[in-house]
Structure 1
Amino acid sequence: MNSNTRATYGTSSTFWKRTPTFVPSTIEIVYSGESTSTNETTTQAPAEPTPAAAPPPATRSESPKLPNADEGLEPLTSTSTSSFDETTPAEHKDSAPTDALELKFHTLLTSANVDIEELQKQSWKGIPSSQRSTAWCLLMGYFPLNASRRSQTISRKRREYMDWVRQTFSRGEDALDRSLWHQIRIDVPRTTPGSPLFQNPRIQRSLERVLYCWAVRHPASGYVQGINDLLTPFYFVFLAPHLPHEIDSLDDSVMDTVEADSFWCLTKLLDGIQDNYTHAQPGIQRQLIKMKDLVSRIDAPLAVHLDSEGVEFIQFAFRWINCLLMREVSLTSTIRMWDTYLAEPDGFSSFHIYVCAAFLLKWSKQLQQLDFQKILLLLQKPPTEAWTAKDVELLLSEAYMYKCLYHNSPNHYSAAAAQKR
Structure 2
Amino acid sequence: MQSKGTLKMLSKQELKSESAESWGHGSLPFVLEDDISKQALLLTELSKKVINMGQLRRIASQGIPDGAGIRSTVWKLLLGYLAPDRSLWSSELAKKRSQYKHFKEELLMNPSEIARRLEKTTVLNNDNGKSESRCVLSRSEITHGEHPLSLGKSSVWNQFFQDSEIIEQIDRDVKRTHPDLHFFSGDSSLAKSNQEALRTILTVFAKLNPGIRYVQGMNEILAPLFYIFKNDPDEEMAACAEADTFFCFVELLSGFRDHFCQQLDNSVVGIRSTITRLSQLLKEHDEELWRHLEITTKVNPQFYAFRWITLLLTQEFNFADSLHIWDTLLSDPEGPQETLLRVCCAMLILIRRRLLAGDFTSILKLLQNYPPTNISHLLYVANKLRGQPSR
Deviation at 1:269, TM superposition (A): 0.4
Residue 187 in 1 paired to residue 193 in 2?
no
- Amino acid in structure 1 at the alignment position of 2:31: P
Which residue does 1:150 correspond to in 2? 89
Correspondence list, 1:172-321, <5 A = 172=111, 175=160, 176-199=162-185, 200-242=191-233, 256-278=239-261, 279-281=263-265, 282-306=269-293, 307-321=295-309
CA drift of 1:184 comes to 0.5
Unaligned runs of 5+ in 2: 1-5, 113-156, 186-190
Aligned partner (choices 331, 336, 339) of residue 348 of structure 1:
336
Partners of 1:324 and 1:348 within 8 A in 2:
no
Amino acid at match of 2:365: L
1:383 and 1:49 map into 2 onto residues whose CA distance is 25
The amino acid of 1:142's aligned partner reads Y
Q: Does 1:380 align with 2:361?
A: no
Change (3 A) 1:294 1:33: closer
Give yes or no for contact 2:29–2:380 (8 Å, CA) kept in 1: no
Within 5 Å, give how 1:73-222 maps onto structure 2. Answer: 99-129=36-66, 130=68, 131-172=70-111, 175=160, 176-199=162-185, 200-222=191-213
Please give the per-residue CA displacement for 1:146-202, whole angstroms capped at 9, x wherever unaligned. Answer: 111110110110121122123333434971433322210111111112112111111
Paired amino acid for 1:187: D
CA separation in 2, counterparts of 1:241 and 1:229? 20
Structure number with greater Rg is: 2
Structure 2: distance between partners of 1:210 and 1:35: 47
CA contact (8 A) 1:222 1:277 kept: no
Q: What is aligned with 2:145?
A: none
Q: Could you tell me how far 1:103 is from its partner in structure 2?
A: 2.4
What is the RMSD of the two structures over their aligned residues, measured on CA atoms? Answer: 2.3
- 2:388 is paired with a residue whose SS is helix
In 1, are the aligned partners of 2:14 and 2:353 still within 8 Å (CA)?
A: yes
Show the counterpart of 2:126.
Answer: none
Paired positions, count: 322
**What fraction of aligned residue pairs are identical, expressed as a percent?**
28
Q: TM-score, normalised by structure 1?
A: 0.71
- Distance in 2 (CA, whole Å) between partners of 1:223 and 1:138 is 26
Is this contact kept in 2: 1:137–1:143, CA < 8 A?
Answer: yes
Which has the higher mean CA deviation after the structures are superposed, 163-172 or 315-324?
Answer: 163-172
**Structure 2 equivalent of residue 417 of structure 1:** none
1:110 & 1:221 partners in 2: Cα distance? 39
CA–CA distance in 1 between the matches of 2:179 and 2:313?
16
SS of 2:386 mapped into structure 1: helix
Kept after mapping to 2: 8 A contact 1:165/1:213: yes
Query: Deviations along 1:51-81, whole A, 9 cap, x unmatched?
Result: 2x6x2xxxxxxxxxxxxxxxxxxxxxxxxxx
Deviation per residue, 1:370-402 (Å, 9 max, x gap): 221121111111122xx4xxx111111111111
Q: Which of the residues 31, 39, 42 maps onto 2:8? A: 31
Render the CA deviation track for 1:24-50: whole Å, top value 9, x for unaligned. Answer: xxxxx8333748634434233337734
Gapped runs of 5+ residues in structure 1?
A: 1-28, 56-98, 244-250, 407-411, 414-421
Aligned partners of 1:185, 1:36: CA distance in 2, in Å?
46
Counterpart of 1:185 in structure 2: which amino acid? D
Q: 1:109 to 1:373 in 2, by over 3 A?
A: same
Which amino acid is the alignment partner of residue 370 of structure 2?
P
Distance in 1 of aligned mates of 2:356 and 2:199: 42
Higher relative contact order (CA 8 A, sep 6+): 1
1:42: which partner in 2? 20
- Identify the residue that residue 86 of structure 1 maps to in structure 2: none
Cα distance in 2 for partners of 1:403, 1:195 equals 34
8 Å CA contact 1:37–1:361 kept in 2: the answer is yes
Partner amino acid, structure 2, of 1:232: A
Q: Contact 2:107 / 2:207 at 8 angstroms: preserved in 1?
A: no
